[in-house]
Structures are given as structure tokens and as C-alpha cells.
Structure 1
């Protein structure tokens, strides 16, 4: 009899089990089956030799389920061979209870006739036509297949059916995960104000950085009002390469300019036509950047007609990137749970992480939601920067739903000033003014503008992870709070900190990334009053329904010229510890007040890289130091 080992317990959907117990016996029926869906659990983190052997047996090693397991499609005759590999601890069949999101039977969204729209992920190498027929046989209607493989994604299927019957679909072996489509919400709170909020960007403006050559993607509840002088061009106002402000508008549902979209696009990059550039008092944070505009109402994965535009957020972000955008601002979120409940990791969050994993130079930012709501993707995705709103002086929270996520990840990561904001007002030719007293909706495009200015400052193609590290490292803790805090993250971005000369940067892409057990170091000279080191990395997409969406784990170590190294609890600024990070995040910070002057060594070690391409890239920003050498 095999006894369960809590160290290897897997959570997937509603199931909690030890695969060694669940998969102790393979039946003759399973052995004779042509192909099935299996959970293959290893004895520990994936290592190169095991990866080579297992891939040779047909495993993809992509759909990771902690701890140390992968969802795989295997022929019954292959299962015993896989189970005999020395790196494999157990093989267990994936059951129906592992496939269904908890919200699937109690959805937040329904159609006019009381049915529920769903999105389901297919396992690899599945015939979509056969799945479509199977769904229809169970009573599903309006079935549409979305094949995202050309943009780094997966095949999924959208359909509508009675929520009382959706659990029946878990008997379809080729379906990996089923979840309801979410509601969408823009993140603007009620109220008025009358101050200006781009003072944080002024430090970059003073250095001649206004966003020239940068493109910000803005997805919102519709297009911005292009007739407004903050976006209009003359004599031809048609978006395109020659337009002074707007390269592209994706608006398949043909909506008119929207008030919220106009305001947030103005926060990002608005600037007045007919006046000297950069002189409008309420101009955007990166006023010389250009815009690529999208409409979330076009996305079929949120219930739109597929003929209107993109099929998913992955598709929408990919289209924005193809038009030139490298920084993406999203002042909205998908509602996945009731207010006050932590947000789960879902297929929308996986879309964001797939996009950023495939396109490492891209940075996605998402609003934290309003204070009365809950968080959701895009901001709750692993690789996104989730932004809350700070008060006009940046010392306290103004608006934003608290974290952490359901799996314990820190969200939001940071605040940007989002109170006392004035920007473009739709329905007018050139008026500006306030809309709400405080809103994470307004903080998010200001944070995107800051990222665009940093990208211009660095030149070339810095990774999204490096921009994220710089933004987080530039924060000041809110008055009276220990950071990171569940509502404020690491604090308010102070952009001038990123523009100081005492800054060492280390940007490693996944093609040259770390594998399990590997360690690399950067040597820096330290001479300032504070040393602050930030490590970030861009994760592969997680598996919805798993205990955590996190897949890989890197750890930061800072070694002074003499004495003990600082290593471990990356989440507490200025409080070094001896053990590794207890809560899994792809962000860590360690700071030292009054550091000993001299040569310090910054090291990054891969405790586990369970999914790489071929390795795990990372970025390190060291504030208060100048680089010497990488070794």
C-alpha cells in the first residue's frame, strides 16, 4: 500500500491528491487505451538529462502543475515506460474533477436566455472538429474554436450551455480546463478633482525624454475620441504611420469614442494639436509617444461576436505589438470572483503570460480595480504590472482593490499617482478636466507612460522584466506601511530614481537563461547611502486550477566586500533573512541602508526551472551602484 506524502500533494481543480497513490495501479483498460491525459510527477525540479529523456518519450513538459508535475497526452503503451524513468515519481490519470473551475457551476455572466458562456482549453494534438461535435452532443451551442498556436498560444473553444450540465463535459478526455467567461469592468471611481498629476514624469522630461519613438498600446471600453485635439492630426486624421499620435485603432464593433478610453489615452500620451509640443498643461506622461488603440468589447473570449475583432486577449495584445506597441496599458479588469474574494488564475491571465513569455520585450500593465471591487486580469497575471492609485502627493493609497491573488502572489506591485488627474474629455473639441477623484484607471496609463520613458532612456530593446524591475525599484513606501503591502504593493513610483547615474542593469533573455541549479553573478561598485537590488523574471503561462500559477523559482543573493551574504526573504525591503522566499513571486527586492563602500557581488540562482525556452531569463536592477563585470 502506497501512503500519501504531503510534500508531493497536487491540487488541480477540485482534486487534492498524491499522484503516487492515485496512480499506483494502471489498469489493463488504461494500458490498452490509444491515448489519454495523464499527470506525470517527477521526483524533483526538472533537470537537463531528465528533460532530454522524457521529451524523447513524447512528453512536452509544458503544462506544469506543482509540485513537479506535468499534464501530458500519452498512449497507454507509453505510460509504463514513462513511469519507469528514474526521474519520474508517479503517473496518474487526469480525472474530471481536475478540469472544472469552481465558478463554472455558479457563473457571474449569463445570456438573455439564462445560459452561460464558457471557454475551454484543449489538450495538445486534439482534433477541434471532434471536440465541437462532442460539445454539441452534450447540449452546447454557439461553439467556436480559437486556434492561438500561431501566436504562441493554445487551442481553446468557446460555447454556451446550461451551467447545471457543464460538469458533464469533464468526461470529454480532450478538454483540459473549463471556465466561465468573465465580466469586464473599467477601473474609475466616482468623484471629482482638479489637480495635475504628471509631476513624476517631469524628471524624465527635464532630460529630454518625452516618449519620442515609443508606442503605447491602450485597450479600453472603446476607442478614444480621435476628434479631440489631444489625438487629432491635420489635415488628415486617419490613423496610420503618418499620423502624429495614433498608429492604429482596432474597433471592429464600431463604437464611437468613449469617455473612459479618451481620458486614459490622454493620460498616457495625449498632447494638444496646434500648440508647441509638450506645452499643454494636462498632457500625457509620455506626450511625444504614439498610441495603438484597442477595444475590449471586440474580444470574443469576453462574449463578443468573433467577426468583430480579436478572439482573445492574447490575440489583441499580439495585434497591438504588430502595430508597434511595446508597453500596454489596461485600465480595466475581468471579474472572476465576488467582491472581497481573491482572484484566481484563469485563461485570461494565461493569455497575458503567454504573450509576455513569447515576446520578452513587451510589458503589460493592468489596473488593480476599484477599492470596492476585487482584482482580476490583465493586472493579476504573473508577468503583468498591477497598478493601484496613489494620492496626489504619492504618500498613501487613493484607489485600488487589495491582493494577494488566490495563490498568494503579491498584487498590486506598485502605485502611481492616480488622484487629482486631468486629461482629455470626450465630446469636446479640446477640453480637459477631471473625471474621478482617484482611480487605478488613471494610475495605470501614467505607469505605462513612465515605462515608455524608461524604455526611451535605456535605448534598444530592454525586456519587459527589466522595465518592471526599474519601476518596482523606484518606489517609495507609503507613510507608515511595511512593504510590500496588500493594497499598495511596494509603494509609489518615483521616476527620478531610475534616471540616476548610480544604476547597474542586468538583462538576460530566456535563450541564454538559467536552468535548474545554475548560478550567475554580477559585480558592482557601491558608494551610495542605500543599495537596492530588484530581481524580476518573466514566467511561462501557468496552469489554471493548480495550487499556484508559479512555475520557476529564482533566488537573489547579495554579498558585501566582507561578511555574510544577504539572501532569502526578497519580499521585505531592508529585512534580510536566511531562508528563501516563502511566498512565490517573480519579483524580489533586497535593500541595505548605509552599505559598506566597495565591490559587491549580486548573484541569481535557479532553484528550479521547470519550464524553460530553453532556460529562464531574468532582469536585475541595482540602485546605488555602478556595474563592473558579469561572471
Structure 2
């Protein structure tokens, strides 16, 4: 790291320059040294002799001055408020009591002295340039002939047109301007950096973001998302309903029936080879309409699709998040490696603070093995893209289905030593949606991140149902995710798994049980919260989390507001949070977490095993709050069960061939695990196998049996848990096909499944596959609309109500529009042509009339859109009777189907009820 002492640009006052160096030498290596990018800077103690006329023209902007101001200590909240009230703008914080500022040109020096200011200096142009620009590290993507392509951030005290006009005088052209933002992409001559950086309106200049690269390489159960979306009667139904999820990826997605009725954005009319966004979208929000095994995390969320733009300032993204359509975004793209805190990082952190209900979820990257300059070789510090370095976002590591870390998954720390990745999810080897109603094998952190995005949408719905539809702040959702994650790798957080493997069920229970609180703390103050821990608790976790203000690009560390957590137990013992050693050395970075003060991260966790029952005091101190006051959440996880089976947990339908992975949560267990299954609701048990004490999943070869009373049990020493309810093991219906399709009816048939009592026919509705008919036969005829011109999807489930089992729904099949084996009715043309149904639409009664009485039997049946028979009327042709009148006054508004059968032959007409 370079040492630097202010400053070397031309001054109006030579005596001022001499004074600066004198103070810098006297105060070398003191507590007022700041770090900015790769340089340490000594701030001079100059307030007693400072005058505004000593500032250069490059620091004079409109009617004020721009510079760095340093206080003797972090100003209290009252001083911060006083500065704001007097129009003194502390723009952003640079660690060690220092701010980037804009003060009016008539600001009183004595006012600054009386309020704790120690040092005032202009910002030299070199500190407005990113490290890559200063060091000439310009990638080929950022060159245009002899020119550089850069992103410039200007101060909001001038308008964009003034900036653009002034740049034009320097032969600098605008490549991209972002509406509502102070960022502009420019093409600049390669010899004008110094001149550009010394323009008063220039706040920051960096190399344009590196090219976007997708992070590509059976998440519901390993994520415990299955427990939130059980798809069983009486079970949880948290599908992300009412939540907007945004896939920012490679453009159009689909078409695919797994997004039926919930897709917002461009569709691919034909397969074009760009299927990365399709895979991401399916993991977030796929409904499993085509194949129920491939259901995504948030199958009820509204899916929005846009093209990935690295700046996060594209009109589509900004509009969707600003107008509230979208709450959770996913971007599984990389832009460079270990990029540091850039203007894009600042953008995503700012967006979260501006819209507290917004959560950005990102892939961590697949760049492990690449040395990205952190200083510890190729196995550390290779998180890809500046946006992933954000404090208020989530970066996701990639796991195999058994929870093992994929070797390519990028590792932390962040550029300044903060914990990254934030959390882990299963990504490798997922099956997800592809174009044109197909599936693909999908992987990498690209697939892990949408798992977290989808689970987050589920948690949004959990919160909304507990709080009268109000949206949660993303800070609470992220805190719940981190604090309830299953610890993986080293004990405590680490730079491989982050805080661990996501556990959607525990996070949801935390929200449902109101195990969280929120408050505000200011500089130097302490809040105490008391939380009771019940007896027989095996583990308790307390976490404080806050959405931190955006940092200054280049600042190190990036943390602005620093809160401290201390927990005091009922015996007055104190407990400090986890801390990691971020020294750029492979041994240090892989050392398990210890405990102590944390001054890097915007979350801190205290974990206590086998805690004593009683009241615990949670002290939250504003250790350093330069931009306050700071809102925060305290979330707490109270684990009372050492062993919890999470899959299969009841209500599932498992195929009786192949394998399923059993999952469980284990806390403070030490013995190996014994796994067993029962086919008779626990009367007898059969051994599945044994698992090591260090794992929480097991691959089970499901027996070739049929049962509606199956259970799984897991045991470790004195601890045991069993499925909460029985589940089914059975085969699957075969030979499903459409054998006749007419204008208003379709007949579907299948091969009988042994011992099945009934079959449910599913068809694709407005959003999901829905039951439209039930039969004990092996075929069924159901009403459809416009069979000649309309496609329909169908599938079958077999059931045995007596034995309590059901099969997995078959993979949906498509009948493309067109009639199939639909012969003429064979009725006399006069009879068929003279059937009158009136009135239609109807509201009270409807009459069916035939002018011809040349028949012996006349039957009329009304069926609703689900295939349920509502009414049947029989009339005989006696004494010329040729009418049937039906009472429809109790029917709901909608479309119905009226079947008229004449001497064993029939026709169906549509009836509208109003």
C-alpha cells in the first residue's frame, strides 16, 4: 500500500502548502490516517489557520467548495443535524472521521472549529480516479482506438447538460447517459485523465464495467422451500404470491407453461440458443406445470424479465423497482473480478436504501482458481463484479445437491475484508426451464442465486400474511436468511459458504413467531433490548443487521455506520459476535471464526450453544455512526429441537423407483444418524442406512412398494424425529393420451394402474394445472372451448382413497389445436339444426327446444368448467313434448356447457350465465 501526504497540485498559497506538509509529518501514522483505495493518507490538523481562499479553483463548484473534512471524532447526531440545517452537505463518509463535503462559500471557519472539525483539504484529482485508471489497468473492453471508455460520476449541484457541454469542449463524447442518475459513460482521449479529474463537477471516474458474463455451470428440499410450499391440503402455501420477482438476464424467456399467467416481459417465439435466463427464471418462479418435479421456489410470484445491464440504471429495471412492481431481483452475471467498491456497488446499495423493500440477489461467481489481486493467491478474494461487493445485497455461493461446495464457486473476502459470499444455495446440476416448453440441466452460481431470490419471495409473502399485506423491508428478510442458515464449512461464518446454507423453513418461522425487533441508534448511544430464552433451548442466535449507507467509491473499508453487538446472559456473562481474520494469507482466511468486536460488516451474530434459560440483554451501540441515525433489526433464532426431519415430511407423492434425498437439520448432535422407513404409519420400521455425524442428507433408494402410510425416521443417540405426517409411495400412470377432441369436448385415456380407485384429470388453467374431472374409469370426457383452434395441456393422477395413496402427477402433454376422431353426430340434420337454447346469456331459467319430435328420449345435462355435473333433466317425447326447462338462478356468473343427448347421441353447446 502506498503512503501519501496531501498534496501536490498547484496552490494559491505557497505558505499553505508548507503548512500542510509540516502538519502531515507531525501527525504521521496517527489515528487520523485514512485509507483510500491502495493509499494511506495523512490528514493535516489545519483548522486553526485554514482560510477558504487557500482552496484551488478545481475545488470551487457553483457557490460552494468541495473537499474532504475530518473531525477530531465522529460528530454526534446533533452536530450532523446542525450541519444539515445550515446547508453544509456531508456528502459521503470516508473512514476515520472524514467526509467528502460541499460547504457554501460563506461557511464560517469558527463554526467548523466549534463543532469539532480538525482538517479541511481539497480533493486532488488523483483521488477522483479509480485504482485501475491510476495504474493504467485498462482492459481491452474499455478502449476505443486511442481512447478510453470510462464512467464519470458528477456532483448533483450541476445539471447533466452543463456537464455534457463542458466535456465536449475537451473532445470527450458521451457513450451512455442514464436517466435519473449522475453517472455518464464517456469516450475520452487517453491523455486527458488529469485534466478531466480536476474539473470541479467531477466526483469520480472509473474504467467502464467489464463485459457481462453469465455465471453458468433440486433446490426445493435442500433449501427447505418445500416446507413453505407443500402443495398438500392443509399445508403451507407460500409461493411468493403478490411478490414481484425480476430476472435480469439474457433477454426473452420462454414460452413455457411453468410461467403460465405470471410472465411479464418478452417471450422467445422460437429457440434462439440464449437459454441462461430461462434456467434462472425457472428456479425463481417455475410452477412445475409441465413436470411437477421441476417446480421452482416461488411458483406464485409475478415474474418480470429484462435484459441484464451492468449499471443497474437501465430504464426497465429502474421503472420496475421504482413503481413497486418488483421487490426481489436476480442477476447471475459477472463483471470483472474483485472489483472493489465501485460506482455500481454504490448504485445497488443506494437503491436498497432508497426503496427499503427492494432486495438485490446476485451470484457470487464461478471464478475460484483465479487470482484477482486480493493478495492470497487464486483460492481467495475472487468474487466477481462490483455489484456483488454491496453491503445491502446478497451474493450467493454454489453447492451440490448434498451441500458440498462446488470448487469453482467464488470465495471471499470482499475487497476490504467483509464477509462474502453472504449465503449458500444448491445450484449445481439443477433441472430448470428452457425455451419452448422444455427443460435443461443448469448449474453454477447462476443457479444458486435464483434459489435465494425465490426463497426470499416466499419469505416476503410470509411477512405480508402476518402484517395485513404490508411489504417487509429487505433488511429484515436478509437478516432472517443469514441468522437461520445451516452452518456449513468452518464453525460460524466463513469466506466460502458465507453464513451457511439457506434454511427457508427456519427463516419463515422466525418471521411468523415475531422473533425480531427494530430500532434506531445514533452516534455514541446504546440501546438495550431484553429477550427471554426458554428452558431446553439447544442453541440461540442473536443477530443485528442494518442497511448501511452507500460508501464512497474507493473507500476502504466500505462500512459507513458501525454498530456493535454485545449480549449479556442471565449470569452477567458477556458474549461478543463472530469475527473472521481477513489478512490476505490463505491460512488466515481459512481459520475458523473467533469472537470479538467487528468493525467491517453490517451484520453481527452472537451464537450460544445450550444457553441457560432466562433474560438476555442485547446491547446495540452506535460505535461509529457518521451518517445517522441508523435503523437496525435484531433477529433471534431459538432452536429447541436437536434433530428435525425436513424431507419427506408428509403429504408428498414419491415414485416407487429411483432415489430421493432425505434431508434433516441437526443442532448439537454428535453421533451418526440411523435412517429408517415405515409403510404402515410407524407400526413397523425398515432400515434405510447410516449417515456420518457431519452430514444432513442421505440418498434413499425408494422401495418398489405402494403405500399411503409411509414415514421416515431419523435417530442420533437420544435424539429422533419422524415425518410430521404420512406420505405416498406409488407408481405413476402410463399411456396418457387424447383419443378424441371435438369442438366442445375432449376425451383423455390412460392405462389402468393396479389398485387405483380413481383418477384425476388435470388441465392447464389460468396459471396452474387444475383438476377438471374425476373418474373410476380409464378415460374421461370433459368440456373444452373451441377444440378446433385451441391448444390444451393435460395430465393424470391416480388415487386410492381407501389406502390413502396418490401418485405423482404425470408430465403434462400437449394437444395442439385441431379436431381428433370427432365424427358427425349422426342425427338427422333437421333435428340437429333445430335445437334452440334461450335465453343465452341467461340468469334465471333456460329452455331447450326441439322443433322435431321424432325421437324417444331427450336428456339435457349442465356441466361447469371443472367438469362437474350440476343438473340433469330427462324428457320423453309423449304428447309432442320437445322442451326442457332448467333453473340456473343459483349458478355463478361464468361459462357452462349444456349437453343435449337424443336417443344416445349428443351435442354440446355453451351457456353463459350473467
Do the aligned partners of residues 328 and 321 (structure 1) sit closer, same or farther apart at CA in structure 2, a change above 3 Å counting? Answer: farther
Q: 2:256 maps to which residue?
A: 228
Tell me the equivalent position of 1:566.
575
- Name the CA distance, whole Å, in 1 between partners of 2:301 and 2:52: 62
Please say if residues 9 and 18 of structure 1, whose CA atoms lie closer than 8 Å, have aligned partners that are also in contact. yes
Q: Structure 1 residue 203 and structure 2 residue 227: aligned? A: yes
Counterpart selection for 2:168 from 136, 141, 144: 136
Q: Where does 1:72-151 land on structure 2 (aligned, <5 Å)?
A: 72-78=101-107, 80-104=109-133, 105-108=136-139, 109-111=141-143, 113-142=145-174, 145-146=177-178, 148=180
How far 1:114 moved relative to its partner?
Answer: 4.9
**Distance of 1:435 and 1:445 partners within structure 2:** 12
1:618 aligns with 2:618: no
Map Cα deviations across residues 316-371 of structure 1 (whole Å, 9 max, x no partner). 24523525211111111322x4xxxx331001111100100111121111110113
Partner residue, 2:451: 446
CA separation of 1:229/1:163 partners in 2, compared to 1, >3 Å: closer, same or farther?
Answer: farther
Q: Counterpart of 2:472?
A: 462
Q: What SS does the corresponding residue of 1:623 show, helix, strand or coil?
A: strand
2:495, 2:102 → 1: CA distance?
A: 39
C-alpha distance in structure 2 between counterparts of 1:124 and 1:209, whole Å: 43
What is the TM-score normalised by the length of structure 1? 0.83
1:366 aligned onto 2:362 = yes
Q: For residues 245-292 of structure 1, give each alpha carbon's deviation from its aligned partner in whole angstroms, at most 9, with x where no partner exists.
A: 1234599xxx9783000110011001245x6xxx62111111121112
Matched position secondary structure for 1:624: strand
Find the residue that maps to 1:369 and give its secondary structure.
coil
RMSD: 3.0
Whether 2:247 is the aligned partner of 1:247: answer no
1:196, 1:14 → 2: CA distance?
A: 40
Between Structure 1 and Structure 2, the one with more strand by share is 2
Higher RCO structure (Cα 8 Å, ≥6 apart): 1
Residues 250/320 of structure 1: CA separation in 2 closer, same or farther (3 Å cut): farther
Report the secondary structure of 2:212's partner residue: strand
Greater Cα radius of gyration, structure 1 or 2: 2
Deviates more, 1:88-97 or 1:107-116: 107-116
* Contact 1:526-1:597 within 8 A present in 2 as well: yes
Report the CA distance between 1:44 and its aligned residue: 1.4
Partners of 2:56 and 2:122 within 8 A in 1 = no
Alignment of 1:38 onto 2:67: yes
Partner of 2:766: none
CA distance in 2, matches of 1:400, 1:507: 34
Given the alignment, which residue of 596, 606, 626 partners 1:590?
606
Helix, strand or coil at the partner of 2:528: strand
CA distance in 1: counterparts of 2:497 and 2:326, whole angstroms = 27
Matched residue of 1:396: which SS? coil
Change (3 A) 1:500 1:147: closer
Distance in 1, matches of 2:179 and 2:93, equals 21
Matches within 5 A, 1:384-395: 384-395=393-404
**Deviation readout 1:531-551 (Å, 9 max, x if unpaired):** 011221101111002222210
The equivalent residue for 2:816 is none
- The match for 2:301 is 289
Residue-pair matches, total: 571
Residue in 2 that maps onto 1:156: 183
Runs of 5+ in structure 2 lacking a partner? 1-21, 231-235, 371-381, 465-469, 582-590, 641-914
Alpha-carbon distance in 2 for matches of 1:31, 1:175? 14
TM-score by length of 2: 0.58
Aligned to 1:304: none
| CA apart distance, 1:14 | 6.2
Q: What corresponds to 1:241 in structure 2?
A: none
SS at match of 1:476: coil
2:373 equivalent in structure 1: none
In 2, distance between residues paired with 1:523 and 1:173? 50
Indicate the residue corresponding to 1:280 in structure 2.
Answer: 292
Alpha carbons 1:46, 1:608 under 8 Å: kept? no
Asked whether the equivalents of residues 253 and 267 of structure 2 are also in contact (C-alpha less than 8 Å), the reply is: no
Q: 8 Å contact 2:175–2:185 — kept in the other structure?
A: yes
Distance, in Å, in 2 between the alignment partners of 1:15 and 1:112 is 29
